[in-house]
Structure 1
């Protein structure tokens, strides 16, 4: 890696924010948008609930690309993505957030670890 780790802010829904903040959710799912193409291990993410000052900071441990969400859940294991929902529930939830044209861009599994308390 060249230079300093990148720092970014991304929004999360409350239910996912709470899981990341508690350490129960260790893999965040995102569409493979071009703006995330250079996301790498060591980068810092600040997850924020839109419209609030609540932040949960994490360090990226790994970024893995998948062609679609089902492959991501199969490759990562549903429990690390959301330990409170079944694989089928997660797939439905992810697809409710990201329509087919977004999923067609590919999927990213971002393995994270907490760096400090949120608030």
Structure 2
């Protein structure tokens, strides 16, 4: 008999992005390909938390796609799926403000998510 309990990951998220996830309008989460995310898989659950608060929301991972950089990710996934409130160029600037060049060279992950209701 196999264990069908999904793995749960806890990740912090800025308020502006948390609100989009909680509303179900942000369907692609962007992360650097850090080693601790290397085994992220379809069916895993991510519990997003606004740092320093008890506010959380859970999403299920539907797909994980690796890109060489953030620009390729936005081009491949479509900026409206990452942040429906900002243009491609605004998003690229925002993402790069969070993750400096030395992090971006590790690779970028597009994590397709679906809100768990």
**TM score, norm. by length of structure 1:** 0.94
Moved beyond 4 Å, runs of 4+: none
Determine if the alignment matches structure 1 residue 99 to structure 2 residue 93. no
SS across alignment from 2:80 = helix
1:51 counterpart residue number: 52
Alignment of 1:28-43 (within 5 A): 28-43=29-44
* Residue segments in structure 1 that go unaligned for 5+ positions in a row: none
Matched residues in 1 for 2:110 and 2:18: separation?
16
SS across alignment from 2:84 = coil
SS across alignment from 1:108 = strand
SS across alignment from 1:73 = helix
* Residue segments in structure 2 that go unaligned for 5+ positions in a row: none
1:112 counterpart residue number: 113
1:88 counterpart residue number: 89
SS across alignment from 1:38 = coil
**TM score, norm. by length of structure 2:** 0.96
Q: How far does residue 31 in structure 1 lie from its aligned partner after superposition?
A: 0.1
Q: How far does residue 5 in structure 1 lie from its aligned partner after superposition?
A: 2.4
SS across alignment from 1:21 = helix
Q: Spell out, residue by residue over 1:81-104, the C-alpha distance to the aligned partner (whole angstroms, 9 max, x if none).
A: 000000000000000000000000
Q: Spell out, residue by residue over 1:29-53, the C-alpha distance to the aligned partner (whole angstroms, 9 max, x if none).
A: 0000010000000000000000100
Question: How many matched pairs?
Answer: 115
